[in-house]
Structure 1
Amino acid sequence: MNSSVLYALSAAALFGASTPLAKLLGADMSPVLLAGLLYLGSGAGVLCVRCLRDRGWKASGLSAGEWPWLAGAIAFGGVLGPVALMYGLTLTSGATASLMLNLEPVLTALLAWVVFRENADRRIVAGMLAIIAGGVVLSLPSGQGASGMGSWLGPLAVAFACLCWAVDNNLTRKVSASDALYIAGAKGGVAGLVNCALATSLGARWPSVEVLSPTLLIGFLGYGVSLVLFVLALRGLGAARTGAYFSTAPFLGAVISIVILGESVSWLFWLAAAFMGLGVWLHLTEVHAHDHQHARLEHTHRHRHDEHHQHVHDADEPALEPHTHAHVHLPVRHSHPHFPDIHHRHRH
C-alpha cells in the first residue's frame, strides 16, 4: 500500500477516534470551548514536538509565495469553519448536521477538480461516491429526515462550514511540500486561540484540570497528529483522494464508539462499512500512467534520491537519506504510474 494512503487512513482513524473520546469528556462543556481546547491541544502539542525535533525554534521554511495559501487555510479551516459549524448546530438537529457534513469531501473534490485542475478518472469518482454513500448510511441511525431542523439557516451554516474546510484542504495542498509539523501547529494554534476566545466571550466556563488535561491530549492526537498525517497525505495524493480517504473517519469513529462506549451495531453500520470498503478498494487499485512533462521546479521537502530526485549535493547539504533541503527538478518527460502529488500537478 502506498505510504500516502496509510497517512490518510491513519489521519482519519485518529480524527474519528477523537469524537467519541471527546464526547466522554465534554458532556458538560460548551461545544465552542471544546472545539477550541481540542485545537489548542493540537497546536501546542505539535509545535512542542517540532521544537524537540529541531532542538529549538526553527524558521517555518515557507517561501513568500506560500504564506498567503497558509493564511487562507487557517482563516477558512481554523476560524470560519468551526464557528459556522457551532452556529449551525444550534439551529439544526444532530442527524441533519451529520448528513450535511458529508458535503465536505464532495466539495473538496469538486474544488480540486474544477478550480485547481487536479486529475480524477471514473474509478476515483466512483470510489468517492461509494465512500460518501457509506457516510450517509452511517449517519442514518441517529435520526431520519430533517424533522429537527430549526430553520434553513442551520443547514446552510453547516454547508458553509463544509465549504470552508474544502477550501482549507485545497489551500493546504498548495503548501503540503513544506514542514508538516509547522503547518499543523500553526493551524491548530490559531484555531484554538480564536475558538477559546469566542467561547470565553460567550460566557463558557473552563473545565477542571482533570478534564482539561485529557481534552488537550485528545486534541494533540486526534487533531494535531491527524493533521500532520493529513498534510503528508496531501503531499502524496492530492486533495480529492486524501479527502476521500479521510471521509472514512465517521466509520472509524463509530467503531471506537462500539468498542469503548458499548454502542449497539445495526445492519446499517455493516452496509456503511461495505460502501466505504468498496470505495477504498477502488482507490487502492487505481493505476494512472501516461506520458507527461515535468517543468523546472525548485522546492524543499523530505525526499530520497529516486527517479524524480537526481541532483548533486553541496558540501553543507545532508548526505544521509531521507533528508530535507532546497533542490531543483530539471525539465524531463517520461511515463510511469503516479498520483497528483507535489511532483505531478500537470494538466490532462
Structure 2
Amino acid sequence: MHQGVMFALLAAALFGASTPFAKLLVGQVSPVMLAALLYLGSGAGLSLWYGLRRLRGNQGAAEGLRKADLPWLAAAILSGGIGGPLLLMFGLAQTPASSASLLLNMEGVLTALLAWFVFKENFDRRIALGMLVIVLAGVLLSWQQMPQFGLPWGPLAILAACLCWAIDNNLTRRISASDAVQIAALKGLVAGLVNLALALLLGASLPAIASIGAAALIGFGGYGLSLVLFVLALRHLGSARTGAYFSAAPFIGAAISLLLLQEAVGGLFWLAAALMAFGIWLHLTERHQHTHSHEEIEHGHRHSHDLHHQHEHDFEWDGREPHSHPHRHLPISHSHAHYPDIHHRHQH
C-alpha cells in the first residue's frame, strides 16, 4: 500500500476512534468546553513532542516552517481552526444533530471540489467515482438517524463550516512539505485557545481533573496525531485523495461505537461499509502515468535520494537516509506513475 494512503487511513482511524471515546465525556463536560480541551490536548501534546525533538537536534525531522509559509498557515488556522468551529457551533444550536451529522460529510466533497477546480489538482473519472461512492457511504451512514432539517440558517452555517475546513485542507497542502508536527501543534493550540475563550464566555466551567486529562489524551490521539498523519498524507497524495480516504472516519467511528458503546446497527450500516470499501478500492487501484515536466524548485523536507532527489550537498553528509535539508530540484522531464504530491503539481 502506498505510504500516503497508509497515513490518510491511519489519520481517519484515529479521528474516527476519538468520536465514541469523546461521547463518554459528553455528560461530564459541556460541548464547547470539550472541543476546547480536545484541541488543547492536541496542541499541548504536539508542542511537547516538538520541543523534545528540538532538544535532541531534530534528527531526521522535516524542515520547519519558513517565513513564506506563515501566510498560508495563518489563513489555514483562521479558516479551519477558528471559522469552522464557530460556524459549526452556531449551526448545531439551530439544527438537529441528525441533520448536522449528514451535512458534515460535505467536508470531503468541498475539499475535493476546491482541489480540482480552484487549486487545479489532477483527477480522472475513476477518482471522481471513488469520491462519489465514499461520500454516498457517509450519507447512508448518517441517514439512519432520519434527518430532518430545521430553519435554513443552521444547515447553511454547518455547510459554511465544512467549506472553512475544505479551505483549510487545501491551504495546508501548500505547506505540507514542512514539519507536520509543528503545523499540527500550532493549529491545535490556536483552535484550543479560541474554543476555550468561547466556552468561558458562554459560562462553561472547567470539569474535574480526571475529565480534563481524559479529554486531553483523546485530543492528542484523535486530533493531534491524526492531524500530523493528515498533513503527511497531503504531502504524498494531494488534497482530494487525502480527503477521500479521510472520509472513512465516520465509518470507523461507527464501527468502534458498535463495539465500545454496544450501539445497534441496521442494514444501511453494512451497505455503507461495502460502498466505502468499493470507493477506497477505486482509489487504491488508480494508476496515473504520463510524461511530465518538473520546474526548478527549492524546498526542504524528509527525503531519500530517489529519481526526484539527485542533488549535491553543501555540507558534510554521513550518507544516512532518509534525511532532511533545504535542497533544489533542477528541471527534469520523465514518465512514471505518480500522485499529485509535493513534487507533482503540474498541469495536464
**TM superposition score category, shorter chain reference:** over 0.9
Which amino acid counterpart does residue 225 of structure 1 have in structure 2? L
Contact 1:318/1:324 (8 A) holds in 2: no
Which amino acid counterpart does residue 271 of structure 1 have in structure 2? L
Q: What's 1:91 paired with?
A: 94
**In structure 2, how many angstroms separate the alpha carbons of the residues matched to 1:114 and 1:223?**
28
**In structure 1, how many angstroms separate the alpha carbons of the residues matched to 2:236 and 2:101?**
29
Which amino acid counterpart does residue 339 of structure 1 have in structure 2? Y
Gaps of 5+ in 2: none
Structure 2 counterparts to residues 185-334 of structure 1, below 5 A: 185-317=185-317, 319-334=319-334
**Structure 1 residue 311: Cα displacement:** 1.1
Deviations 1:222-247 (A, max 9, x none): 00000000000000000000000001
Gaps of 5+ in 1: none
TM-score, normalising length: structure 1: 0.97
SS of the residue corresponding to residue 335 of structure 1 reads strand
Which amino acid counterpart does residue 254 of structure 2 have in structure 1? A
Deviations 1:151-173 (A, max 9, x none): 11110110000000000000000
**In structure 2, how many angstroms separate the alpha carbons of the residues matched to 1:275 and 1:61?**
39
SS of the residue corresponding to residue 327 of structure 1 reads strand
| Residue of 108, 120, 127 corresponding to 1:117 | 120
Deviations 1:90-121 (A, max 9, x none): 10011110111111111000100111000000
- The answer to whether residue 70 in structure 2 is matched with residue 67 in structure 1 is yes
Q: What's 1:178 paired with?
A: 178
Q: What's 1:145 paired with?
A: 147
**Structure 1 residue 317: Cα displacement:** 4.7
Which amino acid counterpart does residue 324 of structure 1 have in structure 2? S
For the aligned residues, what is the CA RMSD? 1.4
**Deviation >6 Å, runs of 4+:** 56-60
**In structure 1, how many angstroms separate the alpha carbons of the residues matched to 2:104 and 2:317?**
45
Q: What fraction of aligned residue pairs are identical, expressed as a percent?
A: 61
Q: What's 2:131 paired with?
A: 128
TM-score, normalising length: structure 2: 0.97
**Structure 1 residue 25: Cα displacement:** 1.3
Contact 2:28/2:211 (8 A) holds in 1: no
Could you tell which deviates more after superposition, 316-325 or 260-269? Answer: 316-325
**In structure 2, how many angstroms separate the alpha carbons of the residues matched to 1:290 and 1:216?**
46
Alpha carbons of structure 1 residues 271 and 82: separation in structure 2 relative to 1, 3 Å? same
**In structure 2, how many angstroms separate the alpha carbons of the residues matched to 1:266 and 1:205?**
38
**In structure 2, how many angstroms separate the alpha carbons of the residues matched to 1:163 and 1:133?**
18
**In structure 2, how many angstroms separate the alpha carbons of the residues matched to 1:292 and 1:71?**
32
Contact 1:293/1:331 (8 A) holds in 2: yes
